Structure 1
Amino acid sequence: MGNKLHSVSIYLLLSFNFLLAGSNDKSIKAIPTTETIIIDGVSRESSWSNALPAKDFTQRDPFEGEPESEKTEVRVLYDNQALYIFFNMLDSDPSKIIQRLSRRDDNDVESDNVTLSIDSYHDHQTGVTFSVNAAGTKSDGLMSDDGKTRDFSWNAVWDVATQVNSNGWTAEFRIPFSVIRFKPSDEEITWGINFARKITRKQEFSTWAFLRKSESGWISRYAHLTGLKNISSPKTLEVSPYLIGTGKYFPAQEGKNKVAGLFPNVGVDAKYGISGNTILNLTVNPDFGQVEADPSKLNLSTFETFYEERRPFFIEGSDIFNFSTFGSGFGPGLFYSRRVGQSINVSAPEGSTIVEEPMNATILGAAKLTGQTQDGLSFGLLSTVTDKEYFTFSNSSGINKD
């Protein structure tokens, strides 16, 4: 009698990104700088005056196609480490700028904000987005399927600062090249780019590259970022070891002995940037105890409840594994990563009851390789190994562990 679970899972997914011709002819040139750019929301460095601004935003809401009601200008600089973007949002009544603090990636909070979106592969299908509201709360995410699918569980390391002043408000970004995937080249490269601004009190949303509601697609209609030369994504290595312990103590009771013990747990996560467009992620005995818990849901239907992936290892490169099966936005697609290390359901043998059972399948280790070739082929390889799990049953003959 036994219920032993042991699994090795390997997933290989390949996708071709079909290059779509964007309809937007706007472009902005990134200006190289050797100055040290201080991220404080103030354009005090002289290099900012050398960059021509992107301006003349167009409303998407509430009056589609009309010029923005408040002027916005954006400038772009870069050095060999990062991209720098400065937003200057003029406002005729700065006292009415709405600035509310919230949790990171909480996009439902009503606050004035700006967004920077980048198609670094220039494949018109995938991209990254960085946002900040007037209070300085950050949001970032991955985009795929021409912007139809967005994943805000991705949290990159980047800097931004905001300032509210007598003319409006400003936002200054520093986006390290190490968090952006792109194809390295010895020649000048071009990325897709767009800027957006939200004025909450007017319910106004404007973009630099105009995105009509009647037209499908989002990333394929971005403007162009030019001027980037001699940049590369450094080969970064991130190693995050951990050591935690769990203590158990049950005092002695009638007919039962005292139970006490300390159960240590150790593991490591690692991320290696093989190149600007290929990342290797490794994890050994991962601990997801600090990951935000799933919200409680009552499901009375015959369909499985799908939860957002929150575990850091599975978030990296998750857009590559995103293939819709029932149309955009329904279900997780062909691959649902939450099934790796999921809870285990086992029925007790006849005449027995379950005394003790594991909460989830233990992931011993996992490896993931994701990236894109020079020809635009996106690839993802994921391998995971889970441990044997044991259940304790009680029946008329005593307690059995199987």
Structure 2
Amino acid sequence: MSKLLLFLFLNLFLAASLSAQKINSDYQLHIQKASSEILIDGALDEQAWLDAEVATDFFMITPMDTSFARVRTDVRMTYDDENLYLLVENFHAVEGPYMVESLRRDFSFGKNDNFLLFMDPFDDQTNGFSFGANAAGAQWDGIMYNGGSVDLSWDNKWSSKVTNYDDKWVFEAKIPFKSIRYKKGITEWGINFSRLDLKTTEKSGWAPVPRQFPSASLAYTGILVWDEAPPQTGANISVIPYALGGFSKDVSSGEEAVYRKEVGLDAKIGLTSSLNLDLTVNPDFSQVEVDRQVTNLDRFELFFPERRQFFLENGDLFAGFGYSTIRPFFSRRIGLNAPIQFGARLSGKINKNWRVGAMNMQTGKVKEDELPAQNFTVLALQRQVGARSNITGLFINKQSLNYNPDPDAEAPIYSQFNRNVGLEYNLASSNNLWTGKAMMLQSFGPDNVGNGFVHAANLKYTAGNLTWSWQHEYVSENYTAEVGYVPRRGFYKANPQVGYRWFPKSEKILSHGPDVSTTFFFNKNGEKTDNTTFLAYNLKWRSQSTFMMWTSTDYVRLQRPFDPTNYSGDTLATGTEHQWYAMGAEFTSKPQSVFTYAFTTRLGGYYANGERYNVTAELGYRFQPYVSITMNAGYNEIHLPEPWNTTSFWLVGPRVDVTMTNTLFFTAFVQYNEQIENINLNTRFQWRFKPASDLFLVYTDNYLPAPFYTKNRSLVLKFTYWWNL
């Protein structure tokens, strides 16, 4: 199978290299310099808008992709020496109020009437930016990577206004050229516009996109044709200082409260219109929302995504290398147990075909943990090949500074260094039907400890009805990525998958069809250690409700002791074999209702001839557009022989989002996790008093459930200001 995959890669590499013509090159919107001053007020009353060319006659993407959209959308764009302007008229197709969750920034796409702009200012069909709003005026912005993924954690300086009329809602935006990166001198950008109207359940795009792909797919953008090259931004330097005060108190240890008075600084320096230098001194990320907890019954470490702003722009150069469980670089390892003192990051486009990323971060010493000061260096160089494919080289170095471990110790607490070198080919055909990657990694450590090798590859075909993929992975026992996320080592994995969808001519059902996959793990001797075979049937209604029912069979031969409850401390022995069958279902209600709900169920076997039952539910209610209330609850019940017997866990998480305006937000949520015996309370108030400038007030408490006892608490008041020089 590996030889066949290599053969297909070589043929597709040749095809991708020869296919440079854009699919939707006939869809062109001409943009000219504004003929008058523009006020961002959500009104079509300036001469510049009357003179601008109009993009209209959108194509339907869902429920069908074979006709024009029923809902009319008109888009105009213009610019001046400093800003790019956008005005969109979103007409109503049927009577009734708009549908939104709240005024919360970076809203959930499928739960809001919205308009989104996707632009590829590098014209490489791989990287770009997205801006938009819902019908109540909540903003959306994100950085685009991998040809169609959007990271909404990215945040930048821009302004917008939404005004509602009887027959339409109008979205008007001003995006400073300094807030985006673009290739110098080119007069054609990839661009597309997406509209979601929940009353008609219609998603549409200006340039047509096949329904099996997201509307964000950069392979299917049209062209924004400039009357002249976009203006150079000149000195592009932004300074973002912060100041905070607060306290934290570890009540459980009886220690005195620790008071914080800190200042720090971030800076963004645009070296060119497409190459940026980010600097940070004494960064603080106290305003970043805490992770959503989960019940952990897995044998391996769980993954939680990066949310810190400094690591996000062009983050795919570093963090996108590898697969979900083979990440040689995972930025959350930096500053995990030690404060970050300073850092620098250079990233962006050198020219049409080359991207570069270079990062250096320095953490301080933690005496009580004997953790030395550490330096992290990451270098990435990417070369575009063909229309949308690329080759990336990666180097990672983690170095302990002034660290001299006891030579008589059996093993040092921390390594003196860990290095990774890798090469990866990312395949994306011009029409996006074929995608995949092939990668190799080598790790290095002191005295050859931690020297190991990784190889992995996958190939995926996505057509209108049929989807199939093959993926295999090999990770040696000694492979080490101390700055990465590789929860499992010493295995070979093979994973074929196939799915099919029918799209009937029905007034109620949009699509239905099966998915089948099987995953095998083998150890270094070629012996099977794991196998999961999964069969599901999916149903999607035109109302956007979804239902899935599934069944699976699992086999595990444990490679190390494992507690199947991740709670009791009692473990199953290495080498024991376990096999079981399970089944379940998932349902999500239509997003148009102010009351929404979803549930999942699972019942069947478990380790040691046991049984596991699981149900999760989410209830939501919104008083649009100001208040959104959700309740998440999960229950697990595990029946095992002695010494475990019956174990049960609740995980409950109510949440309230209050959005008084699209610049004033309050969020409060509680997480009760019975498995780790903790109640977490987190509240956050945010006032965006100017674009990308904020005042935060964050309060966090952790409690022991029974008896109800405070473990620790903290309060932080933080002020940030975005200042363009």
- When normalised by structure 1's length, the TM-score is 0.80
1:337 to 328, 331, 342: 331
Structure 1 residue 138 displacement after superposition: 0.9
- The answer for the alignment partner of 1:368 in structure 2 is 345
The percentage of aligned residue pairs carrying the same residue is 32
The CA distance in 2 between the partners of 1:363 and 1:140, in whole Å, is 27
1:278 aligns with 2:275: yes
**Alpha-carbon contact 2:70-2:93 (below 8 Å) kept:** no
- What are the residue-to-residue correspondences of 1:96-245 with 2, within 5 Å? 96-108=97-109, 110-147=111-148, 149-185=149-185, 189-214=187-212, 218-230=217-229, 231-245=231-245
Q: Aligned residue for 2:358?
A: 381
Q: Distance in 1 between matches of 2:228 and 2:177?
A: 13
- Specify the code of the residue in structure 1 equivalent to 2:340: I
Letter in 1 for 2:201: Q
Distance across 1 between alignment mates of 2:250 and 2:87: 59
Contact 1:23 1:221 in 2 (8 A): yes
Partner of 1:12 in structure 2?
Answer: none
Aligned AA (1:341): G
CA RMSD of aligned residues (A): 2.7
Range moving further from structure 2, 261-270 or 70-79? 261-270
TM-aligned CA deviation for residue 375 of structure 1 = 3.5
Deviation of the 1:389 alpha carbon: 1.0
Structure 1 pair 247–50 and aligned structure 2 pair: CA distance change class (3 A): closer
Is residue 45 of structure 2 the alignment partner of residue 44 of structure 1?
yes
Q: Deviations over 1:132-154 (max 9, x none)?
A: 1100011111111211x321110
Q: 1:27 to 1:339 in 2, by over 3 A?
A: same
Q: Distance in 1 between matches of 2:155 and 2:320?
A: 21
Residue deviations 1:250-304, cap 9 Å, x none?
Answer: 99xxxx9x96775533322211111211111111111111221111223221333
- In 1, Cα distance between the equivalents of 2:93 and 2:107? 27
**2:440 aligns to what?**
none
C-alpha separation between the residues in 2 aligned to 1:72 and 1:182?
26
8 Å Cα contact 1:306/1:332 also seen in 2: no
- Return the offset for 1:391: 2.3
Change in Cα spacing, 1:389 to 1:133, as seen in structure 2 (3 Å) is: same
Task: Report the counterpart of residue 9 of structure 1 in structure 2.
Answer: none
Q: Residues 32 and 144 from structure 1, CA distance in 2 versus in 1: closer, same or farther, beyond 3 angstroms? A: same
CA separation of 1:297 and 1:227: change in aligned 2, threshold 3 A: same
From the superposition, tell whether residues 143 and 391 of structure 1 become closer, same or farther in structure 2 (CA, over 3 Å). same
Separation in structure 1 between the aligned mates of residue 344 and residue 369 of structure 2, nearest angstrom: 31
* Structure with greater Cα Rg: 2
Q: Which residue of 2 aligns with 1:291?
A: 288
Which residue number corresponds to residue 303 of structure 2? Answer: 306
> Are the equivalent residues in 2 in contact too, given 1:142–1:319 (CA < 8 A)?
no
**For the Cα contact (< 8 Å) 1:249–1:260, is it kept in 2?**
yes
CA distance in 1, matches of 2:187, 2:309: 30
CA distance in 2, matches of 1:117, 1:321: 23
Q: Secondary structure at the match of 2:55?
A: coil
The farther-off stretch of 117-126 and 99-108 is 99-108
Bigger strand fraction: 2
Residue 378 (structure 1) shift: 0.8
Structure 1 residues 129 and 333: CA distance shift in structure 2, 3 A: farther
Structure with higher RCO (Cα < 8 A, 6+ apart): 1
Q: Compared with structure 1, are the counterparts of its residues 95 and 374 closer, same or farther at alpha carbon in structure 2 (3 Å cutoff)?
A: same
Aligned length: 349
Q: Cα deviations across residues 131-180 of structure 1 (Å, max 9, x unaligned)?
A: 21100011111111211x32111012111211221222111121111112
SS in 1 for 2:111: coil
User: Partner letter of residue 35 of structure 1?
Assistant: S
- Relative to structure 1, is the Cα distance of residues 27 and 289 closer, same or farther in structure 2, using a 3 angstrom cutoff? same
